[in-house]
DNA sequence: CATTTGACGCTCT
DNA sequence: TAGAGCGCCAAAT
Protein backbone atom coordinates (compact mmCIF):
# COMPACT_ATOMS: atom_id res chain seq x y z
CA UNK A 1 0.00 0.00 0.00
CA UNK A 2 2.89 2.33 0.80
CA UNK A 3 4.16 1.75 -2.73
CA UNK A 4 1.01 3.40 -4.05
CA UNK A 5 1.64 6.74 -2.39
CA UNK A 6 2.54 9.09 -5.25
CA UNK A 7 5.54 11.39 -5.13
CA UNK A 8 4.66 14.68 -3.53
CA UNK A 9 1.97 13.12 -1.33
CA UNK A 10 2.06 11.72 2.19
CA UNK A 11 0.21 9.11 4.22
CA UNK A 12 0.10 8.54 7.98
CA UNK A 13 0.90 5.28 9.78
CA UNK A 14 -2.68 4.99 10.96
CA UNK A 15 -3.99 5.65 7.48
CA UNK A 16 -1.91 2.85 5.98
CA UNK A 17 -3.05 0.47 8.71
CA UNK A 18 -6.65 1.32 8.04
CA UNK A 19 -6.27 0.99 4.27
CA UNK A 20 -5.02 -2.57 4.59
CA UNK A 21 -7.86 -3.48 6.93
CA UNK A 22 -5.90 -3.24 10.16
CA UNK A 23 -7.41 -0.30 12.01
CA UNK A 24 -5.46 0.41 15.19
CA UNK A 25 -2.22 -1.11 14.00
CA UNK A 26 -0.32 2.10 13.28
CA UNK A 27 2.61 1.02 15.46
CA UNK A 28 2.99 -2.17 13.49
CA UNK A 29 3.12 -0.20 10.26
CA UNK A 30 5.98 1.77 11.74
CA UNK A 31 7.67 -1.42 12.84
CA UNK A 32 7.36 -2.89 9.36
CA UNK A 33 8.91 0.14 7.74
CA UNK A 34 11.71 0.13 10.29
CA UNK A 35 12.63 -3.36 9.11
CA UNK A 36 13.12 -2.30 5.50
CA UNK A 37 16.68 -2.68 4.26
CA UNK A 38 17.84 0.65 2.84
CA UNK A 39 17.91 1.88 0.26
CA UNK A 40 14.51 0.52 -0.68
CA UNK A 41 12.33 0.76 -3.78
CA UNK A 42 9.38 1.21 -1.43
CA UNK A 43 8.67 4.92 -0.74
CA UNK A 44 8.82 4.46 3.04
CA UNK A 45 9.69 8.14 3.47
CA UNK A 46 6.19 9.17 2.40
CA UNK A 47 4.72 7.93 5.68
CA UNK A 48 4.64 10.38 8.59
CA UNK A 49 2.75 10.51 11.87
CA UNK A 50 -0.71 11.98 12.34
CA UNK A 51 0.76 15.22 13.65
CA UNK A 52 2.39 15.85 10.31
CA UNK A 53 5.86 15.29 11.65
CA UNK A 54 8.62 12.85 10.89
CA UNK A 55 8.95 10.59 13.90
CA UNK A 56 12.43 11.42 15.10
CA UNK A 57 14.41 8.87 17.09
CA UNK A 58 18.05 8.21 17.83
CA UNK A 59 17.33 4.56 17.25
CA UNK A 60 16.66 5.32 13.61
CA UNK A 61 20.33 6.05 13.16
CA UNK A 62 19.77 8.85 10.71
CA UNK A 63 16.97 7.43 8.60
CA UNK A 64 14.74 10.14 10.02
CA UNK A 65 16.95 12.85 8.59
CA UNK A 66 17.24 10.95 5.33
CA UNK A 67 13.45 10.94 5.28
CA UNK A 68 13.42 14.70 5.63
CA UNK A 69 15.84 15.10 2.73
CA UNK A 70 13.90 12.76 0.48
CA UNK A 71 10.65 14.62 1.17
CA UNK A 72 12.29 17.97 0.54
CA UNK A 73 13.55 16.63 -2.77
CA UNK A 74 9.98 15.73 -3.68
CA UNK A 75 8.82 19.27 -3.06
CA UNK A 76 7.36 18.78 0.40
CA UNK A 77 7.66 21.93 2.48
CA UNK A 78 8.30 21.94 6.23
CA UNK A 79 7.26 24.79 8.48
CA UNK A 80 9.46 26.37 11.12
CA UNK A 81 8.60 23.56 13.52
CA UNK A 82 9.52 20.81 11.07
CA UNK A 83 5.89 20.03 10.38
CA UNK A 84 4.22 19.47 7.05
CA UNK A 85 0.68 20.40 6.06
CA UNK A 86 -1.31 17.18 5.93
CA UNK A 87 -4.17 19.38 4.82
CA UNK A 88 -2.16 19.98 1.68
CA UNK A 89 -0.19 16.79 1.15
CA UNK A 90 -2.30 13.95 2.55
CA UNK A 91 -2.78 11.22 -0.02
CA UNK A 92 -6.38 10.50 -0.96
CA UNK A 93 -6.29 7.04 -2.54
CA UNK A 94 -8.52 6.37 -5.49
CA UNK A 95 -10.66 3.27 -5.75
CA UNK A 96 -8.14 1.44 -7.92
CA UNK A 97 -5.45 2.08 -5.30
CA UNK A 98 -7.45 0.00 -2.85
CA UNK A 99 -7.58 -3.09 -5.04
CA UNK A 100 -5.29 -5.96 -4.18
CA UNK A 101 -2.51 -7.03 -6.50
CA UNK A 102 -0.23 -4.81 -8.51
CA UNK A 103 -1.77 -3.23 -11.58
CA UNK A 104 -0.31 -0.46 -13.65
CA UNK A 105 -1.11 2.85 -15.29
C1' DC B 1 5.93 -16.29 31.15
C1' DA B 2 6.12 -11.05 32.60
C1' DT B 3 7.66 -6.56 31.29
C1' DT B 4 9.25 -3.14 28.44
C1' DT B 5 9.51 -0.85 24.13
C1' DG B 6 8.33 1.60 20.18
C1' DA B 7 9.13 5.19 12.71
C1' DC B 8 1.42 5.60 16.73
C1' DG B 9 -2.84 8.35 17.81
C1' DC B 10 -6.67 10.39 20.34
C1' DT B 11 -8.46 13.14 24.28
C1' DC B 12 -8.25 16.36 27.79
C1' DT B 13 -6.02 20.50 29.99
C1' DT C 1 -1.45 25.03 20.71
C1' DA C 2 1.77 22.25 23.38
C1' DG C 3 2.06 18.56 26.76
C1' DA C 4 0.68 14.94 29.52
C1' DG C 5 -1.84 10.82 29.88
C1' DC C 6 -3.65 6.86 28.23
C1' DG C 7 -4.98 3.14 24.93
C1' DC C 8 -3.05 0.35 21.59
C1' DC C 9 -0.57 -4.32 20.24
C1' DA C 10 3.20 -7.27 18.59
C1' DA C 11 8.19 -7.53 18.98
C1' DA C 12 11.97 -7.53 22.03
C1' DT C 13 14.05 -8.37 26.26
Query: Which CATH number goes with the domain that contains A14?
Result: 1.10.10.10
Predicted TM-score (pTM) of the model is 0.92
Q: Strand C: which bases are under 7 Å from protein Cβ?
A: 2, 8-12
Sign of CA dihedral A104, A28, A47, A13: positive
What pLDDT score does A4 carry? 96
A46 touches strand B (CB under 7 A): no
What pLDDT score does A97 carry? 83
How far does chain A reach from its first CA to its final CA, in angstroms?
A: 16
Domain boundaries, position A71: 2-104
Distance of CA A87 to the CA centre of its chain: 15
Phi and psi torsions of A10, nearest 5°: -135, 155
Please state, as a whole number, how many other Cβ atoms lie within 10 Å of the Cβ of residue A44: 20
DSSP state of A5: S
Count of the separate structural domains present in chain A = 1
Q: Are A91 and A105 in contact (CB under 8 A)?
A: no
Amino acid sequence: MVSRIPSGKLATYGQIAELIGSYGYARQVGWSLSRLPLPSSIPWHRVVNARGQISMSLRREGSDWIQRDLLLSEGIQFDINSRVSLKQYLWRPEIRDLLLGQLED
